[in-house]
Structures are given as C-alpha cells and as structure tokens.
C-alpha cells in the first residue's frame, strides 16, 4: 500500500514502532543508526539470554520490515551522505530531544529546503515546545505525567504501571497516523510538513476522558485493585476463577444491563443466588445505588455473590459460558496462554521469520489488521547492525566499494 | 468541517459505537473527512451512557466521553432492523468511500450489510470491520468491551504486584490504542485505492493489534520460554525505579534512575552523598540487587516534599521524574494546554463544552474541530437531503415509518 514511499527512521528506543507500522503497510523503511548500532539494541530481554546488539528482543519487536544502515550524523561526511538520502525520502522519523536535530543542521526547516515534500515526524516525551519539552523522561515518568498511572493499582499501594513499557508506543502509533494524514496533505499541496507527537499527550487517551473531569466540575475516580471507585460505588473488574482470574464487566444501564441480567440469571440457575437478587433492576442499577435506594452494602453483597460463583469455575468454563450466553467475562491470561490461544491459531495470526544468522525460526505477533487485497507481509526480519550498508550506500547512492570501505575505516558507518 | 483539510473529500460511513471504533473515525473527521455516524435511538450507544457527564447528570445527550469520541462527525439516526432503514444505509454505502463498522459478524450479515453484499453494490468500496477478536475463529462471536480484550490479551495479568491479584490497567485499555492501528490501516487502504482504484476488506481484531504493545514479552516467551509476570513498578534495568509517596496525602512522584550519573545526582539531592560512595550501589547491577533497601531510602526523602517540588528538584539535575498527575492536574498542565489538550465546541443543549483536541500536531494542516458530536438525529436532514439527494417527501415517509429512530 505504501510501497512507493521511502522512510528514513532515525528513532532511538522511543520511536521504533512508528516506522515498523509504515513498513508493515509496505513502505521501504531504512533505519539509520549510529556506528555500532542503536542504543535500543542494548535493551533486553535477549534471545538466548545473552546481551548482544543483534539479539535484543525489544529490537526485534519493533524493527521488522526495515533495512538498517549505520551512519555518523555528528560528522560532516556522515551528514553529507545523509542529505543525499533525504533527497529521495518521503518520510523522516526521529525521536531526539527537541533541538538536537536542528543543532546538527538536520531540523525540519533545514531538510525542507533540500526536500520540500519531506514529511518530518518527531516523537518525543512531551512535544517540541513547552515547559516540559526538555524533561528527562522514561516510560514510567511519562505514564505518570499523562494520567493513566494514577488510575491503576491497589488502593493501599502506590499507583502501578504496565510491566511492559507502554507510553512511547502510544506516541508511535499516533505518529504513524499523523504521518499518513500528512501524506494526504502532500497529495493536495505538494508540500511536506512537521508532525509533532508527544507521548505524554498520546497517553492521555488511556484515561478515558478523565482530563475532562475538572473542567466539568466533577471528581475523578480513585484506583482500587482490579477496578475503580466513584464516590460510594466501587466498580470491580477482576474476580477469582478456579485456576486464576477473570475479568467480569458488571455494568448497568440500557446497553450493558441486559448482559448483567443474563449473568445473574446464570448464577441463579447454578444455585449461587436467590431470585430476588437475580431480578434486581440492572438497567437502572446505577441510579438505584447513587440515589441510596439500594444500599452500598447490598451492591457489595452482589459482588460477593459473583465471586462465590466465579471461583468455582475455570477460566475456560467461564469463557465458554460468556460465548454461549452473551456474558461480559474474559479470562485474565498469562503470556504463555496468549501464545497458546486457539483463536489466534485459527486465524493464523503468528508469523515465523527465519533468522539465518542464528539458524533459528522465530515466532512473531502477526498483522495488526488483515487486509483482503494487500495483506501485511513479514518481508524482512529485524536487521543486524549495518546489514544494509552496501545495499543503500553502494547500490543506491552509488558509492564505490572502496569509498564504503574507507568510511568504515573512519568509523563513519 | 467539510471541504477543507488533508482528508477533504474522503467520505466515511461510520457504523461504529462505544469507544474503539469511534476513536478511529474521530481522527479522520479532525483532518477533514466527512464522517457520517449512524446510530439507533432504541439501542443506545454505550458511550452515551458513560461518565463523565455534562452537568454531572447521566443522560444520552450528556456524556462528555461520547462528545470527545464523536466531535466533528455528522449524526444520523437509523433503524437498521427496518427495511427502509437498511435502504438508507445502502444509499449511504453508495455515497461512501469507506465503511467502518464494529457490530458482530452475525448482525452485519443479518442486515445484508456484510462486505460480500456491499462490494456487489460498490466494488471499489473500502470496508473495515473492527471487533474484539476478529471476524473468524472460535471466538469471533465474543463481544464486549476493551476491558475484556485487555484481559484476554495479557495486559491485566501484567499490571499489578507479584504478591497480589492482578490490578489491571485502567478501564477498557485496548480501546485506547487499537484505534490508532485502525486509522493507520484505513488511511493506507485509501492511499492504495487512490493509486489503483481498488477497494478491499479490512478485518481487525483489536486483541491482535494490541499484542504489538506486548511484543517484547511475547518474543521472550516464543524464543526463551520465559513467562513474564507482573513487576509492580520495577524495571529490569533501572533502580531505583518506582512511585514514591509525596508529602501531600495520596500524592505520588514517579522516579526512574536511568544510570549511574543520575544515581549520584539523586544521592546529592537527598543529602546522602555517602550512598553515592558505596560500591554496592555504584552500578545498576548492584542497585538492582538491593531494591527494597533503596526504595525505603528514596521514600523517606520524598515523604518530606511536595510532588511538584520533587519533580522540579529531580528534573533540575536531569533525573527522570514526574508527579503522578490526576485528571485535575492534567486540565491545568501548561505543557498539555499548549498542545490544545481540550478545545471548546458549541453544543445544541449544553452551550460551550470542552472536548479532547487532536493528539497530533501537524505544522501545515492543523486539526479543525468545530462541531460538537451529534445529538440524536441532528444531521438527518442534511445527510438525507444534501448528501443523498432525497426529496422532502421521501424524508417525511421515512420519518412516518419510524426508520429514522
């Protein structure tokens, strides 16, 4: 779909997913790394457990469908070669601290002169401008600064993050959308532009409109393990099963109420509650609790009833019941259970890529969308350091092998 | 509105509801596509029942979340279970470049609105279906909210403390980022059609898209057989790394010490230069071996200061830190204000209201958000008359038949 387009991906560990999304969609993505390789290659875990720049599973996760070259952008010769690459590029993605690219003469304004059609995408913790633009940042601190951290965790412990870093991935996925919107703008105007993405801003989406509470004069909910508390009402999603945990959406109102009716009918049928409990007004239950007509203790008892039932059933039994009866229950699964999913197998989700350099076949998460006409192809396994230097510098830019060898000797590539 | 912006002229029929789908088409509307959002007044969009509420009172026209998800779109009410309602839907399909839907595979077939039927009418159509588990497979019929998708994709189990039941991320977590893959996929399909004239069908499982946010852990399992469990706030490579109590009640500061230099700066700030001299704390490996002890030391320092003061102190020395922001902090955060976190639109019932702005900043073609999300049927006449060319008589018939409900 994007096969006519060339992407130069300069991002470090904060921006890699954006280029991979464009690569999955067919673009020719060239990862440009400093000599010796990207710092992202030092992030674990590692294939076989051994730290090695070509065995970082973090690197593998976000660099499929890319080629890779090394180039020293802090040297004049490196920048000169890079500018030649820029002339034929459609997109450039970078994730340096704001101002750093400009200081090298590689800011948007500099490159737009060389290539007015260039779409220049920046992914940073807080955006290009503003009081926090130069803050030191990591996944945890951006997750804190953007709001989702405060809303998750046990009430008697500090708020808790997702154990696999998320914050910059939100920014990357937004950036891919921004890059494509800018491509449509270019079709109309012939001009590229600067797309400025802030991971902090991107993760605010994960608060479900919580940023609106204060302007609307409302109070935000408070975190509680496996749920959230609004005033007197503690909503709980996590329930024990016989062999682990399940997520149960015990929700009310006209849309979700009918599913709670079905759940309570099932629980009653199985002998875990009486008919009076089954027949409560689940459509109007929020109003009942908030108005005080239903005591909060009674809602607490209802949740205990649900728990007394779920803990007698396995996750698989509860999922089966959810499918058969139209209930809002899902198993809380571990990573190995994800890998063993029958659903993913039935859809041929997983993709194996040959890592000839290791003599191994590696199983990767599959396409993010199934396209009927232009299916996402896993064309290239994540590249080793400098793997495509000759392809790009000799075959495409027209350097001689001797010149490339000289650059290598100078530590330029 | 229409006619302007990078996506001017792109016509989207939006048969989606709740969160994940509408969040994707919202981006298209921000940048100039005409998005016609079809909904039922009988089977009310769950998002209309979700907090926060304008005026603090629940009601189908009061959800500020629905507003943020659907600002800038045109709204039509249509009874898809009626013959006349479906006829209007088919005319909208003929009008549209893209149909996006988030119903169950069964419902779309029952209405005759599945891709096989629609491509017969319009071969160049791009159609996207998005649901929790995808259109095929044993769980294709598994319906529900993103909280279920994040449970069944592994996010819940990876958010919490090793010694406690899973806490899970807040809310329907996967609904908040699967839509970005949705929007990118639709734009790529539009680009392909622009060059080739060919449409196609896009089948999105939100769970499958979401797994890319856990990819390193999945690869650790498929290659090394290692099953990652919840780590609390610990990090495999950084220490100290955690969320620490500030002086105020229920206020916290997140601190991540990325390297040895930052560790020494932290010791300095804490007035504990003797710790910087201790060999066992000098390297990350050493510090990772005594995290409980270090967390205690850091917390005893943070407890004496406000979250804001801690953030400023640590940042002044280049140590990654942030106050743990709550919603009220965010609406007043100068950094986000400068990026138009919230923008005002005019609402028919509530007057001027805030909705979330675009998260993307495009220097040449900024987002334009100048319409509130539709009240029920707000744009029925505009869409039927101006976009579909219906006469007043036809519209009156539809109203009389109850097809516009």
Which string of DSSP letters, residue by residue, matches B265-291? Answer: HHHHHTT-HHHHH-GGGSSHHHHHTTH
Picking from B5, B236, B322, the nearest residue to A145 by CB comes out as B322
Q: Do B237 and A196 touch (CB under 8 A)?
A: no
Q: Do A343 and B134 touch (CB under 8 A)?
A: yes
pLDDT value of position B380 = 97
Q: Do A246 and B169 touch (CB under 8 A)?
A: no
pLDDT value of position B43 = 86
Task: List the catalytic residues of B.
Answer: 175
Per-residue pLDDT reduced to its tens digit, A53-102:
999 999 999 999 999 999 999 999 999 999 999 999 999 999 999 999 99
Mean pLDDT (whole number) for A396-402 = 94
The answer to whether B360 touches A197, Cβ cutoff 8 Å, is: yes
Per-residue pLDDT reduced to its tens digit, A119-143:
999 999 999 999 999 999 999 999 9
**What chain B residue is nearest to A362 in terms of C-alpha separation?**
B223
The answer on pLDDT for B364 being more than 50 is: yes
The answer on pLDDT for A232 being more than 80 is: no
CATH second-level architecture of B11-213+339-401? 3-Layer(aba) Sandwich (3.40)
B348, B349, B350, B351 alpha-carbon torsion, rounded to 10°: 40
pLDDT value of position B2 = 47
Which residues, other chains included, contact B347 with Cβ-Cβ below 8 Å and sequence gap of 6+?
B54, B67, B353, B372, B375
The answer on pLDDT for B1 being more than 70 is: no
Instruction: Tell me if chain A has a CB within 8 Å of the CB of B255.
Output: yes
Judged by average pLDDT, the poorest of A63-72, A227-236, B45-54, B289-298 is A227-236
Between residues A47 and B55, which one has the greater pLDDT?
A47
Per-residue pLDDT reduced to its tens digit, A244-273:
999 998 888 777 888 999 999 999 999 999
Residues in chain A: 413
**Homologous superfamily of the B241-328 domain (CATH):** formyl-coa transferase, domain 3 (3.30.1540.10)
The answer to whether B76 touches B35, Cβ cutoff 8 Å, is: no
Q: Do B6 and A334 touch (CB under 8 A)?
A: no
The answer on pLDDT for B146 being more than 80 is: no
Whose CA is closest to A170, among A132, A198, A211? Answer: A198
Interatomic CA distance for residues B384 and B87, integer angstroms: 12
**What chain A residue is nearest to B133 in terms of C-alpha separation?**
A343
Interatomic CA distance for residues A86 and A410, integer angstroms: 22
Q: A271 burial class (0-12, 13-18, 19+ CB within 10 angstroms)?
A: exposed
Average pLDDT of chain B, as a whole number: 95
Using a CB-CB cut-off of 8 Å, the residues of chain B touching A147 are 325-327, 330
Where do the structural domains in chain B lie, given as residue ranges?
11-213+339-401, 241-328
Percentage of residues in chain B having pLDDT higher than 90 = 90
Distance from CA of B139 to the nearest CA of A (A): 6
| Residue ranges in B1-114 assigned as alpha helix (H) | 20-30, 64-70, 83-95, 105-110
Distance from CA of A9 to the nearest CA of B (A): 18
Percentage of residues in chain B having pLDDT higher than 70 = 99
Q: Do A208 and B19 touch (CB under 8 A)?
A: yes
Q: Do B173 and A342 touch (CB under 8 A)?
A: no
Instruction: Tell me if chain A has a CB within 8 Å of the CB of B263.
Output: no
pLDDT value of position B3 = 61
List the single best residue of B24, B50, B215 to mutate versus A (max A Cβ within 10 A).
B215
Q: Do A159 and B252 touch (CB under 8 A)?
A: yes
Query: Given pLDDT bands bounded at 50, 70 and 90, which one contains residue A320?
Result: very high
Domains present along chain A, CATH in parentheses: 6-206+348-409 (3.40.50.10540), 237-338 (3.30.1540)
pLDDT value of position A234 = 85
Picking from A48, A330, A335, the nearest residue to B217 by CB comes out as A335
Q: Do A2 and B188 touch (CB under 8 A)?
A: yes
**What chain B residue is nearest to A224 in terms of C-alpha separation?**
B167
**What chain B residue is nearest to A364 in terms of C-alpha separation?**
B219
Omega before residue B143 within 30° of 0, cis: no
Mean pLDDT (whole number) for A3-30 = 98
List the single best residue of B103, B325, B358 to mutate versus A (max A Cβ within 10 A).
B325
pLDDT value of position B168 = 94
Using a CB-CB cut-off of 8 Å, the residues of chain B touching A364 are 215, 219, 222
Q: Do A181 and B7 touch (CB under 8 A)?
A: yes
Interatomic CA distance for residues B257 and B252, integer angstroms: 16
Q: Do B213 and A209 touch (CB under 8 A)?
A: no
Instruction: Tell me if chain A has a CB within 8 Å of the CB of B363.
Output: yes
Per-residue pLDDT reduced to its tens digit, B231-289:
999 999 999 999 999 999 999 999 999 999 999 999 999 999 999 999 999 999 999 99
The answer to whether B370 touches B347, Cβ cutoff 8 Å, is: no
Residue B186: in which H helix or E strand, if any? helix B178-196
Picking from B68, B156, B338, the nearest residue to A130 by CB comes out as B338
Picking from A161, A331, A369, the nearest residue to B151 by CB comes out as A331
Structure-token pair, residue A178: 């921004």
List the single best residue of A25, A130, A183, A371 to mutate versus B (max B Cβ within 10 A).
A371
The answer on pLDDT for A181 being more than 60 is: yes
Per-residue pLDDT reduced to its tens digit, B372-397:
999 999 999 999 999 999 999 999 99
List the single best residue of A330, A341, A350, A366 to mutate versus B (max B Cβ within 10 A).
A330
């Amino acid at each position: 779909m994007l096969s006519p387009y060339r992407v130069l991906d300069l991002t470090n560990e904060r921006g890699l997913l954006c280029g991979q999304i464009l690569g999955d969609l067919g673009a020719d993505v060239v990862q440009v790394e400093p000599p010796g390789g990207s710092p992202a290659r030092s992030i674990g875990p590692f294939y076989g457990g051994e730290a090695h720049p070509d065995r970082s599973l973090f690197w593998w996760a976000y660099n499929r469908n890319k080629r890779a070259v090394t180039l020293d952008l802090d040297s004049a010769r490196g920048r000169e070669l890079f500018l030649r690459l820029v002339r034929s590029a459609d997109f450039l993605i970078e994730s340096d601290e704001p101002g750093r690219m400009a200081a090298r003469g590689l800011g948007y304004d500099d490159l737009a002169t060389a290539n007015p059609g260039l779409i220049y995408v920046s992914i940073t913790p807080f955006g290009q401008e503003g009081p926090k633009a130069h803050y030191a940042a990591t996944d945890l601190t951006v997750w804190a600064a953007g709001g989702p951290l405060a809303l998750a965790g046990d009430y008697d412990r500090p708020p808790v993050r997702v154990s696999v870093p998320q914050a910059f991935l939100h920014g990357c996925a937004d950036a891919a959308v921004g890059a494509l919107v800018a491509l449509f703008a270019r079709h109309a105007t012939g001009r590229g532009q600067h797309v400025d993405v802030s991971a902090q801003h991107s993760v605010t989406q994960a608060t479900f409109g919580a940023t609106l509470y204060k302007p609307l004069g409302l109070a935000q909910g408070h975190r509680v393990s496996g749920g959230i508390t609004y005033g007197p009402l503690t909503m709980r999603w996590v329930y024990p099963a016989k062999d682990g945990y399940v997520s149960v959406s015990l929700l009310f109102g006209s849309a979700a109420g009918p599913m709670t009716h079905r759940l309570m009918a099932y629980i009653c049928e199985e002998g875990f509650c009486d008919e009076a409990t089954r027949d409560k007004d689940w459509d109007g239950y929020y109003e009942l609790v908030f108005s005080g007509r239903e005591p909060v203790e009674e809602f607490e008892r209802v949740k205990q009833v649900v728990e007394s039932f779920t803990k007698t059933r396995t996750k698989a039994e509860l999922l089966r019941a959810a499918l058969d009866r139209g209930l809002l229950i899902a198993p809380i699964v571990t990573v190995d259970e994800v890998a063993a999913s029958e659903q993913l197998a039935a859809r041929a989700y997983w993709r194996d890529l040959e890592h000839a350099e290791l003599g191994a076949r590696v199983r990767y998460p599959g396409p993010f969308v199934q396209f009927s006409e232009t299916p996402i192809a896993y064309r290239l396994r994540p590249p080793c350091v400098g793997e495509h230097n000759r392809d790009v510098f000799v075959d495409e830019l027209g350097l001689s092998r001797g010149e490339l060898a000289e650059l290598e000797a100078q530590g330029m590539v | 509105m229409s006619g302007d912006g990078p996506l001017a002229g792109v016509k989207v029929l939006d048969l989606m509801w709740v969160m994940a789908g509408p969040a994707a088409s919202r981006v298209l509307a921000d940048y100039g596509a005409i998005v016609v959002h079809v909904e039922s007044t009988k089977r009310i969009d769950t998002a209309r029942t979700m907090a926060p509420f304008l005026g603090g009172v629940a009601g189908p026209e009061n959800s500020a979340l629905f507003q943020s998800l659907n600002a800038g779109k045109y709204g039509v009410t249509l009874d898809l279970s009626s013959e006349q309602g479906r006829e209007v839907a088919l005319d909208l399909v003929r009008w549209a470049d893209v149909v996006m839907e988030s119903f169950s595979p069964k419902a779309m077939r029952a209405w005759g609105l599945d891709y096989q039927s629609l491509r017969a009418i319009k071969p160049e159509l791009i159609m996207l279906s998005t649901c929790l588990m995808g259109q095929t497979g044993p769980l294709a019929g598994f319906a529900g909210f993103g909280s279920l998708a994040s449970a069944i994709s592994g996010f819940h189990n990876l958010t919490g403390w090793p010694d406690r039941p899973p806490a899970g991320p807040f809310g329907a977590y996967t609904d908040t980022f699967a839509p970005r893959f949705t929007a990118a996929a639709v734009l790529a399909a539009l680009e392909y059609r622009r060059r080739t004239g060919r449409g196609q069908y896009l089948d999105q499982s939100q769970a499958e898209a979401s797994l890319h946010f856990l990819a390193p852990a999945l690869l650790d399992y498929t290659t090394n057989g290692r099953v990652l469990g919840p780590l609390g706030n610990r990090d495999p490579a950084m220490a100290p790394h955690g969320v620490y109590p500030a002086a105020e009640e229920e206020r916290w500061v997140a601190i991540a010490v990325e390297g040895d230099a930052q560790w020494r700066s932290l010791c300095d700030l804490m007035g504990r230069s003797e710790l910087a001299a201790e060999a066992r704390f000098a390297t990350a490996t050493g510090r990772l071996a005594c995290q409980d002890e270090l967390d205690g030391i850091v917390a005893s320092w943070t407890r004496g200061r406000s979250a804001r003061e801690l953030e400023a102190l640590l940042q002044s020395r280049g140590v990654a830190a942030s106050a743990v922001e709550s919603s009220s902090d965010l609406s007043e955060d100068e950094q986000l204000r400068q990026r138009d976190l919230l923008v005002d639109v005019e609402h028919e019932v509530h007057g001027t209201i805030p909705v979330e702005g675009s998260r993307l900043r495009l220097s040449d073609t900024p987002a334009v958000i100048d319409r509130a999300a539709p009240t029920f049927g707000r744009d029925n006449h505009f869409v039927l008359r101006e976009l579909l060319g219906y006469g007043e008589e036809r519209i009156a018939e539809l109203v009389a038949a109850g097809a516009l409900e």
